[in-house]
């Protein structure tokens, strides 16, 4: 029997579940695949309907979670195997080599500054580049750098004719002596009594909706890309710009709802947060530049949460946001790389076109691709959309006793709901390990 709990996924749900359990005196192992905890919420600029700075309200929780005496945070790590049953699970975790000694690294950023190799910046949704020696993002927790072995010159290029490594700048400049090219992946075995799955979502790739021209047209971006574009810590420093070479500031923005959602060719379900995040994004645009006029193309506005309807009303009244009832049929592009939207305005019953500066696709959110693998490892059932299966009167219980699921990995929900579920999952797990 073990009185520890394993939490898989270090987004807001995993962090909250860990904090609750740690505060109850239970030991928590939080396993996170990426180099930092924080998850999707860390990538958002603001949260609805309060327009709180997302990372500002998240960062203290990240720090609390990391610093808590009852937590062990395993970032850049993946769960490989789980055996046993409720009360006594044995878990194998693969802790991938960062090539940086976490105990020595101070997160000063010197290695990043001097590193000559560039890689796509995945935290910024691939917009812009970062270095091969990098900190996952500015407020990363733990604040420990790592080296991307796919892009590191030393690790990809082999030795010179004289048998010397081709690069090692990071090692040379690191005053803490933290760089360790000999570091190896590590396998860690944990014994826990309960498991909480909180693996979250991936944005749905809208490339297959060819009619919207994503990837074909530079000024058609996804909502997650937009979040990074408008965020002060994003690739443009928060200066909202078009992605075409003209670099122009957009003055008209169209937000297209239900992209790949409520659509039997893609995902049948409603992703539940897009009406609100598009409203928020349109408000933010206008806060950045009062000349910006946004248009939200929707089928029906689902503003069913505390303060949501007021938020929509305020967007219309105070932030120059126009809502147009229509599912957009097609996006074309004019000679100036401006997206041209074709739609039926269902109120006036006319097919119209509108030329805008920027289009933001509110893409569906789907369970992380590795949910399937994790379900196989844990023997838990997934539903038809690959969300972890739960039941109405046991909304955080998976199909396996002792294993719980919270947040977007088990169904569409927003941040407060994910947090509530995380606390519920923590309470359910605590029942087992007490």
Say whether residue 300 binds other proteins (CB under 8 A): yes
Say whether residue 329 binds other proteins (CB under 8 A): yes
Say whether residue 210 binds other proteins (CB under 8 A): yes
Considering the complex, state which of residue 256 and residue 282 has its C-beta at the smaller distance from other proteins. Answer: 256
Tokens linked to 286: 């206008």
* Residue in 237, 349, 384, 393 binding other proteins, rule: CB under 8 A: 349
Least gap, CB of 329 to other proteins (angstroms): 3
Say whether residue 274 binds other proteins (CB under 8 A): no
> How many chain residues are in contact with other proteins, going by CB under 8 A?
23
Considering the complex, state which of residue 30 and residue 256 has its C-beta at the smaller distance from other proteins. Answer: 256
Considering the complex, state which of residue 326 and residue 418 has its C-beta at the smaller distance from other proteins. Answer: 326
List of long-range contacts for 236-243, beta carbons under 8 Å, 24+ apart = 238/45, 238/288, 240/285, 240/288, 240/289, 242/218, 242/337, 242/357, 242/358, 243/127, 243/218, 243/219
Say whether residue 334 binds other proteins (CB under 8 A): no
- Sites for other proteins among residues 223-252 (CB under 8 A): none
Say whether residue 264 binds other proteins (CB under 8 A): yes
Say whether residue 258 binds other proteins (CB under 8 A): yes
Considering the complex, state which of residue 299 and residue 427 has its C-beta at the smaller distance from other proteins. Answer: 299
Considering the complex, state which of residue 153 and residue 299 has its C-beta at the smaller distance from other proteins. Answer: 299
Distances (CA, A) of 210 to 121, 206, 215, 218, 262: 25, 8, 9, 14, 17
Three-state SS annotation for the chain? CCCEEEEECCCHHHHHHHHHHHHCCCEEEEECCCCCECCHHHHCCEECCCCEEHHHHHHHHHHHHHHCCCEEEECCEEEEEEEEECCEEEEEEEECCCCECCCCCCCCCHHHHHCCCEEECCCCCCCCEEECEECCCCCCECCCCEECCCCCHHHHHCECCCCCECCCHHHHHCCCCCECCCCCCEEEEEEECEEEECCCEEECCHHHCHHHCECCECCEEEHHHHHHHHCCCCCCCCCCCCCCCCCCCCCEEEEEEEECCCCCCCCCCCCCCHHHHHHHHHHHHHHHCCCCEEEEEECCCCCCCCCHHHHHHHHHHHCCEEEEECCCCEEEECCCCCEEEEEEECCCCEEEEEECCEEEEEECEEECCCHHHHHHHHCCCECCCCCECCECCECCECCCCCEEECHHHHCCCCHHHHHHHHHHHHHHHHHHHC
Say whether residue 265 binds other proteins (CB under 8 A): yes
Cα 376 to chain centroid distance, Å, stands at 23
* Residue in 327, 355, 370, 399 binding other proteins, rule: CB under 8 A: 327
Say whether residue 302 binds other proteins (CB under 8 A): no
Q: Which of the ranges 16-24, 162-170, 337-345, 354-362 carries the binding residues for other proteins, by CB under 8 A?
A: 337-345
Least gap, CB of 210 to other proteins (angstroms): 7
Say whether residue 328 binds other proteins (CB under 8 A): yes
* Residue in 68, 262, 368, 428 binding other proteins, rule: CB under 8 A: 262
Considering the complex, state which of residue 184 and residue 346 has its C-beta at the smaller distance from other proteins. Answer: 346
Say whether residue 289 binds other proteins (CB under 8 A): no
* Residue in 186, 211, 310, 318 binding other proteins, rule: CB under 8 A: 211
Considering the complex, state which of residue 53 and residue 354 has its C-beta at the smaller distance from other proteins. Answer: 354
Considering the complex, state which of residue 232 and residue 329 has its C-beta at the smaller distance from other proteins. Answer: 329
Least gap, CB of 343 to other proteins (angstroms): 5
Considering the complex, state which of residue 197 and residue 362 has its C-beta at the smaller distance from other proteins. Answer: 362
Considering the complex, state which of residue 249 and residue 337 has its C-beta at the smaller distance from other proteins. Answer: 337
Least gap, CB of 20 to other proteins (angstroms): 39
- Sites for other proteins among residues 33-62 (CB under 8 A): none
Say whether residue 317 binds other proteins (CB under 8 A): no
Considering the complex, state which of residue 27 and residue 262 has its C-beta at the smaller distance from other proteins. Answer: 262
Least gap, CB of 204 to other proteins (angstroms): 14
Contact of 425 with 17, CB cutoff 8 Å: yes
Where along the sequence are the contacts to other proteins (CB under 8 A)?
Answer: 210-211, 258, 262-265, 299-300, 325-330, 342-346, 349-351
């Amino acid at each position: 029997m073990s009185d520890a709990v394993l939490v898989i996924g270090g987004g807001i749900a995993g962090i909250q579940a860990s904090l609750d359990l740690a505060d109850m005196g239970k030991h928590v192992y939080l396993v996170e695949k990426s180099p930092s905890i924080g998850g999707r919420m860390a990538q958002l600029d603001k949260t609805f309907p309060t327009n709180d700075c997302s990372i500002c309200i998240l960062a203290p929780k990240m720090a609390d979670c990391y610093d808590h005496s009852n937590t062990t945070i395993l970032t850049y790590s993946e769960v490989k195997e789980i055996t046993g049953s409720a009360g006594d699970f044995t878990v194998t975790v693969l802790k991938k080599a960062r090539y940086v000694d976490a105990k020595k690294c101070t997160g000063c950023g010197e290695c990043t500054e001097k590193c000559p190799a560039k890689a796509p910046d995945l935290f910024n949704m691939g917009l812009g580049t970062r270095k091969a020696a990098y900190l996952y993002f500015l407020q990363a927790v733990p604040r420990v750098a790592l080296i991307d072995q796919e892009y590191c010159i030393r690790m990809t290029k082999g030795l010179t004719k004289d048998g010397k490594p081709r690069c090692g700048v990071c090692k040379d400049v690191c005053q803490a002596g933290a760089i360790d090219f000999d570091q190896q992946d590590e396998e860690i075995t944990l014994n826990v009594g309960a498991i909480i799955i909180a693996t979250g979502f991936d944005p749905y790739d809208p490339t297959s909706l060819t009619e919207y021209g994503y990837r074909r047209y530079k000024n058609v971006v996804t909502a997650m890309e937009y979040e990074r574009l408008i965020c002060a810590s994003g690739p443009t420093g928060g200066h909202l710009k078009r992605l075409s070479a003209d670099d122009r500031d957009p003055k008209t923005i169209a937000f297209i709802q239900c992209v790949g959602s409520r659509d039997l060719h893609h995902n049948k379900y409603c992703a539940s947060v897009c009406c609100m995040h598009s409203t928020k994004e349109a408000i933010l645009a206008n806060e950045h530049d009062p000349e910006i006029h946004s248009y939200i193309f929707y089928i029906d506005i689902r503003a069913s949460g505390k303060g949501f309807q007021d938020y929509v009303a305020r967007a219309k009244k105070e932030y120059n946001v126009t809502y147009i009832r229509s599912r957009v049929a097609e996006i074309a592009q004019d000679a100036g790389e401006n997206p041209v939207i074709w739609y039926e305005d269902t109120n006036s019953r006319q097919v119209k076109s509108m030329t805008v500066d920027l289009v933001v696709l509110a893409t569906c959110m789907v369970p992380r691709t590795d949910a399937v693998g994790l379900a196989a490892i844990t023997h838990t059932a997934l539903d038809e959309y690959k969300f972890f299966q739960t039941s109405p009167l046991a909304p955080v219980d998976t199909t396996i006793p002792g294993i719980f699921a919270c947040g977007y990995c088990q169904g569409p929900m927003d941040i407060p709901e994910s947090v509530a579920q995380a606390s519920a999952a923590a309470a359910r797990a605590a029942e087992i390990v007490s």
